[in-house]
Amino acid sequence: MTRVITIEREYGSGAADIARKLAERLGWRLLDHALSEEIARRLHCKCEVIDEHEERVDPLHYRLFRAFMRGSFEGALNAPRLGMVDSDCIRKVANEVVTAVAKTGNAVIVGRGSAYFLQTCADAFHVFLYAPLAAKVRRLRAEGRSEEEAIELAQTVDTDRAEYIQKYFGVEWPDRHLFHLMLNSEMGDEVVVQTILNAVAVFDKRAA
């Protein structure tokens, strides 16, 4: 019986809105930005810091600085005060949070590696959302982005995610074999939500 739905996504495919509507239909908790907030709380830093580092590999200069700080006496003393956070510690805490949520159940989780953390979880259903570039740009422009910014984000954020997934999970993003359902969100949010619900119902019936 499905108790958790993870939603991995291409940037700009509308996953946030679709996940929110799906959680509302199910009466489940939604962990999207709330997941980043919980990670920030556990790491004693601002949520903006988590947003800056999650689902991407830290740049070389940042990794070198972290290595220097970890290896020096002064760095060991000052790291907590400086609130130093990187992709490694975010991944560790994200795994802890997502795993705990999965045990409780009745949750829709967006990104943050949740599908990969829970790939062996029998009661998790994994969805991947994608869309043509033009559709993603339209969504991002509707959120107030300029056309130039929308195009750049749609073309670059997923590159960062792919590098992150490759480094930490050793697979090529999005690793299609992991997902139970892959949908083109250009069909419309309501169609996508209903399709996910239908697929979960069939999946649970077959499992039973």
- For residue 58, what pLDDT is reported? 52
Lowest mean pLDDT among 65-74, 81-90, 167-176, 188-197: 65-74
35-75 pLDDT, tens per residue? 999 998 998 888 888 877 777 765 444 444 344 444 444 43
- For residue 30, what pLDDT is reported? 97
Whether 174 is in a domain gets the answer yes
Whether 37 is in a domain gets the answer yes
- Residue 116 sits in which domain range? 4-201
Whether 154 is in a domain gets the answer yes
Cα–Cα distance between 204 and 160 in angstroms, integer? 34
- For residue 173, what pLDDT is reported? 94
Q: Is the peptide bond before 174 cis (omega within 30 degrees of 0)?
A: yes
Whether 206 is in a domain gets the answer no
- For residue 55, what pLDDT is reported? 73
The model carries a pTM of 0.86
Whether 208 is in a domain gets the answer no
The encoded tokens of residue 62 equal 């940042």
| Sheet containing 181-184: order of strands | 29-31, 107-110, 4-9, 124-130, 181-184
SS3 201: helix
Cα–Cα distance between 15 and 71 in angstroms, integer? 40
- For residue 84, what pLDDT is reported? 60
CATH number of the domain that 62 lies in?
3.40.50.300
> What is the number of domains present in the chain?
1
- For residue 181, what pLDDT is reported? 98
